[in-house]
Structure 1
Amino acid sequence: MKKVEEYCKVEDDALHVKVGQKDLETVTPALISFDDTNLERWILPHDDALVIELHMNRFIVKRVLIDQGNTSEIMYYKTFPKLSFTDSDLQPAEYPFFDFNANLEYPIGKITLPVRAGTRSIDMELLVVKLSLPYNIIMGRTWLHAM
């Protein structure tokens, strides 16, 4: 009987699975990294907002702001019906939050959705609010640390 080490080996943080001389699969862990080539057109230092696309409810949602100073995940109401939801899909939100002008804001509800970035998907609770901003969704620290 052959040992597992004869079929699998790890090189440069990637797992290679072989049978005889034939590669069956190479698995590389998900990694986001940047190097100096990513800075070719940037003037440093910069403090631009991080705006990405995420997969939610079978849709690609553009203009998602990553806000490290925010502890809640927020979906704007105008985005909510575009993801094929109705008000009956909302659950009651038990608590208010402070909006960007330090005003107390009451969400119209909350919804839990699978949020996929790359190959990783996690269920996140999003507060749905009737505010007008240039982003569809704001993802805060809770999501960022869960990923």
Structure 2
Amino acid sequence: MKGDPNKCNKNKYCRFHRDHGHDADECYDLKQQIENLIRQGKLRHFVGRDHKDEKLKGKMEESSQPPLGEIRVIIGGTLTGQSSKSKKMYLKVVQNIQLSRRSLRTRAIEELAISFTDKEAERIHHSHDDVIVFTLVIADYTTRRVLVDNGSSADIFYYPAFQQMRLGRDQFHPVCSPLIGFGGIKVQPVGTITLPVVVGSYPQQITKEVNFLVVDCSSSYNAIIGRPTLNSWKVITSTYHLLVKLPTEYGIGQAQGD
């Protein structure tokens, strides 16, 4: 270092110069060397870390800013199959939910962990935007082209599929409320019918009665499984894997989309 070594401050030591007089924080030459290395791109991983910290800090500052306002939703129209009386009954049930003691078997089924793996997606051609369309056994008939629709508030059965099952119309129950689709289009169902449905493969399968709304119109599907049944089955869907999974008495059952 420049200067008289006899007059330098012996209490300060610079590890860059390996000499006394000042410490590393005060070293001008060291700072110049660091600046040169940064310009040459040799300290990119150190600089990048600081850049990420600054970026994260900026995002935190943005998220801490108050919103400009609040957009509320307008509630209106009629939900599928819900009359004024049925709405009141549903509200009464919701407001009076009571937790009851569950059996050990029920708790064991409900506590099964459901997960999806990358291996299960290997047979699927990605990227895709396909819906889940699978095969169910409905009223002892193998019924293909059944759509899984998390957005539907009803389970739909199309009349042409009903005719192929050769079931009598006397099994229909009348329904007054129309189906209302996107844009307010109304369709009056033929009636409702309760049919047994089997999902999954033996022995990881369940059989339950499903209350379908029967609709007489053209469709690409034979039936639509909506939220009422998906929730009663405790189904977990993955559109990425085109797969549905559900807990059964004998483990996790599944149905693969076609």
Q: TM-score range by the shorter chain?
A: 0.7 to 0.9
**Which residue of the other structure, out of 210, 214, 217, is the alignment partner of 1:124?**
210
Distance in 1 of aligned mates of 2:140 and 2:212: 16
| Structure 1, gaps ≥5 residues long | 1-28
Once the two structures are superposed, what CA deviation does each residue of 1:45-80 show, in whole Å capped at 9, x if it has no partner? x33100011111111110000000001000111000
* 3-state SS of 2:196 partner: strand
1:8-47 matched pairs, under 5 angstroms: 33-40=115-122, 41-44=124-127, 46-47=128-129
Distance in 2 of aligned mates of 1:31 and 1:63: 28
| Structure 2, gaps ≥5 residues long | 1-110, 234-258
* 3-state SS of 1:84 partner: coil
Deviation at 1:99, TM superposition (A): 3.4
Normalising by structure 1, we get a TM-score of 0.72
**Which residue of the other structure, out of 146, 151, 171, is the alignment partner of 1:69?**
151
Distance in 1 of aligned mates of 2:126 and 2:195: 37
State the partner residue of 1:110.
Answer: 192
Deviates more, 1:126-135 or 1:98-107: 98-107
The structure where strand makes up a greater share of residues is 1
State the partner residue of 2:173.
Answer: 91
Normalising by structure 2, we get a TM-score of 0.42
State the partner residue of 1:3.
Answer: none
Deviation at 1:101, TM superposition (A): 5.4
State the partner residue of 2:163.
Answer: 81
RMSD between aligned alpha carbons?
2.2
Deviates more, 1:53-62 or 1:79-88: 79-88
Distance in 2 of aligned mates of 1:78 and 1:30: 38
Tell which structure's C-alpha radius of gyration is larger: 2
Distance in 2 of aligned mates of 1:31 and 1:113: 29
Distance in 1 of aligned mates of 2:195 and 2:186: 25
State the partner residue of 2:79.
Answer: none
Runs of 4+ in structure 1 off by over 2 angstroms are 29-34, 38-42, 99-102
| Identical-residue share of aligned pairs (%) | 34
Once the two structures are superposed, what CA deviation does each residue of 1:83-109 show, in whole Å capped at 9, x if it has no partner? 221222211113111135531111011
